[in-house]
């Protein structure tokens, strides 16, 4: 176990549904991330939170809405998704910033999302 | 700029053989190079990393080498075992242009045949 827990592991939803992905880290880290992993594409950073404040939004469509109520929990709210949004959504955490301090990322096992 | 190129995209070896995966980067200021391993059904996990002040680092059967002049770093796995089968990603935290972005390569699917 990496100390980063994601639920659910699998999710199937229609394009009109609203669902949420949950991530919890037990490592005492200050930064949390959402990544999207699609087939044959590099890992894509979606959002970054540092000390509960959003510091990065990598041009993600508004149908994805993140929420970080505290440094240990991160949510990704999904609404009116498209079939092309089907992917593995990975949560990660790090103690601090990645640049210059050589921080390590700890990933959860991901939520495999299918949009019908 | 953001550019980490990883090769090959797939690699199949016989158990006991060595495997080498190579990544090139574009930002000469990059100074830290991690490798992540992603097994089926799991998220990526850091397996080894290297800082720019050394040319090689070893941890049992895995090693990473760095050539700063040529801007590439490689993962070496010796005496491969079936449990080494996974997708391996290189990454560069300095390519993303932000304090929080880790730019990943496209990954290499390594298959170790018994």
Tokens, residue A110:
């991901």
- Chain A 14-43, CB below 8 Å of chain B: which residues? 31, 33, 40-43
Q: What is the DSSP letter of B9?
A: S
Tokens, residue B3:
């550019």
What is the per-residue pLDDT for B101?
76
- Whether residue A92 lies within 8 A of chain B, CB to CB, comes out as yes
User: Which residues on A lie below 8 Å from B51 (Cβ)?
Assistant: 102
Pick from B23, B64, B100, B105 the residue to mutate for testing the A interface (most A CBs within 10 Å): B100
What is the per-residue pLDDT for B97?
67
pLDDT in tens, B24-35: 998 888 888 999
User: Which residues on B lie below 8 Å from A99 (Cβ)?
Assistant: 93-94, 98-100
Confidence of residue A52 (pLDDT cuts 50, 70, 90): confident
pLDDT of B96 strictly over 70 = no
The string of DSSP letters for chain A reads --SEEEE-SEEEE-TT-EEEEEEEE-S--SEEEEEEE-TTS--EEEEEEETTEEEEE-S--TTEEEEEEETTEEEEEEES--GGG-EEEEEEEESS-STTTT---EE---EEEEE-
What is the per-residue pLDDT for B2?
56
């Amino acid at each position: 176990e990496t100390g980063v827990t994601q639920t659910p592991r699998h999710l199937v939803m229609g394009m009109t549904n609203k669902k949420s992905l949950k991530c919890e880290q037990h490592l005492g880290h200050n930064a949390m991330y959402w990544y999207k992993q699609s087939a044959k594409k590099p890992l894509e950073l979606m959002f970054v939170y540092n000390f509960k404040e959003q510091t990065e939004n990598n041009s993600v469509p508004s149908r994805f809405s993140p929420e970080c109520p505290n440094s240990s929990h991160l949510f990704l709210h999904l609404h009116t998704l498209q079939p092309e949004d089907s992917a593995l959504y990975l949560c990660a955490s790090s103690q601090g910033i990645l640049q210059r301090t050589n921080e390590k990322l700890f990933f959860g096992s991901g939520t495999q999302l299918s949009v019908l | 700029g953001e550019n980490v190129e990883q090769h090959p995209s797939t690699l199949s070896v016989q158990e006991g053989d060595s495997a080498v995966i190579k990544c090139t980067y574009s930002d000469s200021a990059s100074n830290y190079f991690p490798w992540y391993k992603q097994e089926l059904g799991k998220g990526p996990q850091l397996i080894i990393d290297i800082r720019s002040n050394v040319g090689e680092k070893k941890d049992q059967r895995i090693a990473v080498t760095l050539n700063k002049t040529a801007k590439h770093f490689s993962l070496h796995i010796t005496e491969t075992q079936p449990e080494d089968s996974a997708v391996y990603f290189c990454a560069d935290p300095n390519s993303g242009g932000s304090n929080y972005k880790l730019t990943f390569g496209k990954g290499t699917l390594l298959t170790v045949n018994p």
